[in-house]
Amino acid sequence: MNSFEFNKIFAALLVALLVAMIANLVGEEAVHPAKIAKNVFIIDVAEAPVESGGEVKEEKVPPIGPFLAKASVANGEKLVNKLCGQCHTFKAGEPAKVGPNLFGIVGNTFAHMASFAYSRVFQEKHGKDTWDEEKLNIYLHKPRALMPGTKMAFAGIKKIQDRADVIAYLKSLK
Protein backbone atom coordinates (compact mmCIF):
# COMPACT_ATOMS: atom_id res chain seq x y z
CA MET A 1 0.00 0.00 0.00
CA ASN A 2 1.49 3.33 -0.97
CA SER A 3 1.22 6.65 0.83
CA PHE A 4 -1.55 7.84 -1.50
CA GLU A 5 -3.87 5.13 -0.09
CA PHE A 6 -3.14 6.23 3.50
CA ASN A 7 -3.95 9.82 2.53
CA LYS A 8 -7.32 8.74 1.09
CA ILE A 9 -8.21 6.79 4.27
CA PHE A 10 -7.16 9.70 6.48
CA ALA A 11 -9.16 12.16 4.37
CA ALA A 12 -12.26 9.92 4.56
CA LEU A 13 -12.02 9.85 8.37
CA LEU A 14 -11.64 13.62 8.53
CA VAL A 15 -14.64 14.16 6.24
CA ALA A 16 -16.76 11.75 8.35
CA LEU A 17 -15.85 13.60 11.56
CA LEU A 18 -16.56 16.96 9.91
CA VAL A 19 -20.00 15.77 8.69
CA ALA A 20 -20.83 14.44 12.19
CA MET A 21 -19.85 17.77 13.80
CA ILE A 22 -21.92 19.78 11.33
CA ALA A 23 -24.92 17.45 11.81
CA ASN A 24 -24.65 17.89 15.57
CA LEU A 25 -24.57 21.70 15.30
CA VAL A 26 -27.51 21.78 12.89
CA GLY A 27 -29.49 19.39 15.13
CA GLU A 28 -28.92 21.51 18.24
CA GLU A 29 -30.07 24.63 16.39
CA ALA A 30 -33.12 22.94 14.85
CA VAL A 31 -34.54 21.36 17.99
CA HIS A 32 -35.40 23.37 21.09
CA PRO A 33 -37.00 21.02 23.64
CA ALA A 34 -39.34 22.61 26.16
CA LYS A 35 -38.65 22.00 29.83
CA ILE A 36 -41.57 20.31 31.58
CA ALA A 37 -43.18 22.14 34.47
CA LYS A 38 -43.49 19.10 36.74
CA ASN A 39 -42.43 15.45 36.68
CA VAL A 40 -44.51 13.13 34.53
CA PHE A 41 -44.30 10.28 37.04
CA ILE A 42 -44.98 11.37 40.58
CA ILE A 43 -43.50 9.02 43.14
CA ASP A 44 -45.46 9.13 46.38
CA VAL A 45 -42.90 9.09 49.18
CA ALA A 46 -44.12 10.14 52.57
CA GLU A 47 -41.69 12.26 54.49
CA ALA A 48 -41.00 11.17 58.04
CA PRO A 49 -42.43 13.71 60.48
CA VAL A 50 -39.64 15.36 62.47
CA GLU A 51 -40.03 16.70 65.99
CA SER A 52 -38.54 20.06 66.94
CA GLY A 53 -35.57 18.31 68.60
CA GLY A 54 -34.50 16.88 65.24
CA GLU A 55 -35.35 13.24 65.96
CA VAL A 56 -37.72 11.29 63.71
CA LYS A 57 -41.20 10.79 65.17
CA GLU A 58 -42.48 7.22 64.74
CA GLU A 59 -45.61 7.06 62.62
CA LYS A 60 -48.59 5.31 64.23
CA VAL A 61 -50.40 2.87 61.92
CA PRO A 62 -54.14 2.61 62.68
CA PRO A 63 -55.53 -0.88 63.44
CA ILE A 64 -56.64 -2.83 60.38
CA GLY A 65 -59.61 -4.64 61.99
CA PRO A 66 -62.39 -2.15 61.13
CA PHE A 67 -61.19 -1.94 57.54
CA LEU A 68 -61.03 -5.73 57.09
CA ALA A 69 -64.78 -5.87 57.71
CA LYS A 70 -65.42 -4.12 54.39
CA ALA A 71 -62.33 -5.41 52.54
CA SER A 72 -62.65 -6.62 48.95
CA VAL A 73 -60.78 -9.82 48.08
CA ALA A 74 -61.22 -9.06 44.35
CA ASN A 75 -59.66 -5.60 44.74
CA GLY A 76 -56.92 -7.12 46.89
CA GLU A 77 -56.10 -9.58 44.11
CA LYS A 78 -55.87 -6.73 41.58
CA LEU A 79 -53.60 -4.74 43.90
CA VAL A 80 -51.40 -7.76 44.60
CA ASN A 81 -50.99 -8.46 40.88
CA LYS A 82 -50.18 -4.81 40.24
CA LEU A 83 -47.91 -4.09 43.21
CA CYS A 84 -46.46 -7.45 44.23
CA GLY A 85 -46.76 -9.79 41.25
CA GLN A 86 -43.39 -8.95 39.74
CA CYS A 87 -41.49 -10.16 42.80
CA HIS A 88 -43.81 -12.70 44.48
CA THR A 89 -45.86 -15.74 43.48
CA PHE A 90 -49.18 -16.63 45.10
CA LYS A 91 -50.25 -20.14 44.08
CA ALA A 92 -49.43 -23.25 46.11
CA GLY A 93 -46.15 -24.86 45.12
CA GLU A 94 -44.95 -22.07 42.82
CA PRO A 95 -41.26 -21.25 43.09
CA ALA A 96 -40.00 -17.98 44.53
CA LYS A 97 -39.12 -15.06 42.31
CA VAL A 98 -37.17 -12.10 43.72
CA GLY A 99 -39.36 -12.50 46.81
CA PRO A 100 -40.83 -15.67 48.35
CA ASN A 101 -44.11 -17.36 47.46
CA LEU A 102 -46.86 -15.85 49.65
CA PHE A 103 -49.40 -18.69 49.51
CA GLY A 104 -50.66 -19.30 53.05
CA ILE A 105 -48.62 -16.43 54.53
CA VAL A 106 -51.31 -15.31 57.02
CA GLY A 107 -50.77 -17.30 60.22
CA ASN A 108 -47.47 -18.68 58.98
CA THR A 109 -44.07 -17.95 60.52
CA PHE A 110 -41.67 -15.31 59.31
CA ALA A 111 -39.23 -16.71 56.72
CA HIS A 112 -41.65 -19.57 56.04
CA MET A 113 -40.27 -20.69 52.65
CA ALA A 114 -37.28 -22.95 53.30
CA SER A 115 -35.81 -22.63 49.81
CA PHE A 116 -35.72 -18.81 49.82
CA ALA A 117 -32.71 -16.73 50.89
CA TYR A 118 -34.29 -14.28 53.34
CA SER A 119 -32.51 -11.21 54.71
CA ARG A 120 -30.93 -11.55 58.15
CA VAL A 121 -33.78 -9.77 59.96
CA PHE A 122 -36.30 -12.35 58.68
CA GLN A 123 -34.05 -15.27 59.54
CA GLU A 124 -33.72 -14.00 63.12
CA LYS A 125 -37.52 -13.90 63.54
CA HIS A 126 -38.13 -17.32 61.92
CA GLY A 127 -40.01 -19.58 64.32
CA LYS A 128 -40.39 -16.79 66.87
CA ASP A 129 -43.18 -14.80 65.27
CA THR A 130 -46.07 -15.30 62.83
CA TRP A 131 -47.74 -13.12 60.23
CA ASP A 132 -51.07 -11.90 61.59
CA GLU A 133 -53.29 -9.15 60.20
CA GLU A 134 -51.75 -6.37 62.29
CA LYS A 135 -48.15 -7.31 61.46
CA LEU A 136 -49.07 -7.47 57.79
CA ASN A 137 -50.75 -4.07 58.15
CA ILE A 138 -47.59 -2.51 59.59
CA TYR A 139 -45.34 -4.31 57.10
CA LEU A 140 -47.44 -3.37 54.07
CA HIS A 141 -47.62 0.24 55.27
CA LYS A 142 -43.85 0.57 55.56
CA PRO A 143 -41.77 -2.64 55.32
CA ARG A 144 -38.71 -1.14 56.98
CA ALA A 145 -40.75 -0.08 60.03
CA LEU A 146 -41.44 -3.69 61.02
CA MET A 147 -38.29 -5.21 59.51
CA PRO A 148 -35.42 -2.73 59.53
CA GLY A 149 -32.74 -4.10 57.22
CA THR A 150 -35.09 -6.02 54.91
CA LYS A 151 -33.91 -6.52 51.33
CA MET A 152 -37.40 -5.74 50.03
CA ALA A 153 -37.28 -2.50 48.05
CA PHE A 154 -40.93 -1.49 48.41
CA ALA A 155 -42.11 1.86 49.76
CA GLY A 156 -45.38 0.46 51.09
CA ILE A 157 -49.12 0.92 50.59
CA LYS A 158 -50.29 4.20 52.12
CA LYS A 159 -54.08 3.78 51.82
CA ILE A 160 -55.37 1.69 54.71
CA GLN A 161 -58.32 0.29 52.75
CA ASP A 162 -55.95 -0.94 50.03
CA ARG A 163 -53.86 -2.65 52.73
CA ALA A 164 -57.02 -4.25 54.12
CA ASP A 165 -57.96 -5.50 50.64
CA VAL A 166 -54.49 -6.99 50.13
CA ILE A 167 -54.59 -8.68 53.56
CA ALA A 168 -58.07 -10.07 52.81
CA TYR A 169 -56.74 -11.54 49.57
CA LEU A 170 -53.69 -13.02 51.30
CA LYS A 171 -55.99 -14.56 53.94
CA SER A 172 -57.99 -16.23 51.17
CA LEU A 173 -54.89 -18.07 49.91
CA LYS A 174 -55.19 -21.40 51.74
Residues in the chain: 174
| Per-residue pLDDT tens over the stretch 90-149 | 999 999 999 999 999 999 988 888 888 888 888 887 767 889 999 999 999 998 888 888
CATH dotted code for 67-172: 1.10.760.10
| Higher per-residue confidence, 114 vs 79 | 79
pLDDT at position 56 is: 45
For residues 66 and 68, what is the distance between their CA atoms, to the nearest angstrom? 6
* 8 A C-beta contact, residue 46 and residue 145: no
**The predicted structure's pLDDT at residue 54:** 46
Distance CA 142, CA 98 (A): 19
Report how far apart, in Å, the C-alpha atoms of 83 and of each of 6, 11, 25, 40, 87 are: 61, 57, 45, 20, 9
Domain ranges of the chain: 67-172
131 Cβ partners below 8 Å, 6+ apart? Answer: 105, 106, 107, 108, 109, 110
Backbone angles phi, psi at 130, to 5 degrees: -125, 160
Distances (CA, A) of 73 to 81, 96, 105, 124, 165: 12, 23, 15, 31, 6
Half-sphere exposure of 105 (CA within 13 A, CB side): 21
pLDDT at 168: 95
Q: What pLDDT digit, counting tens, does each position of 14-51 carry?
A: 999 999 999 999 998 888 777 777 777 766 665 555 45
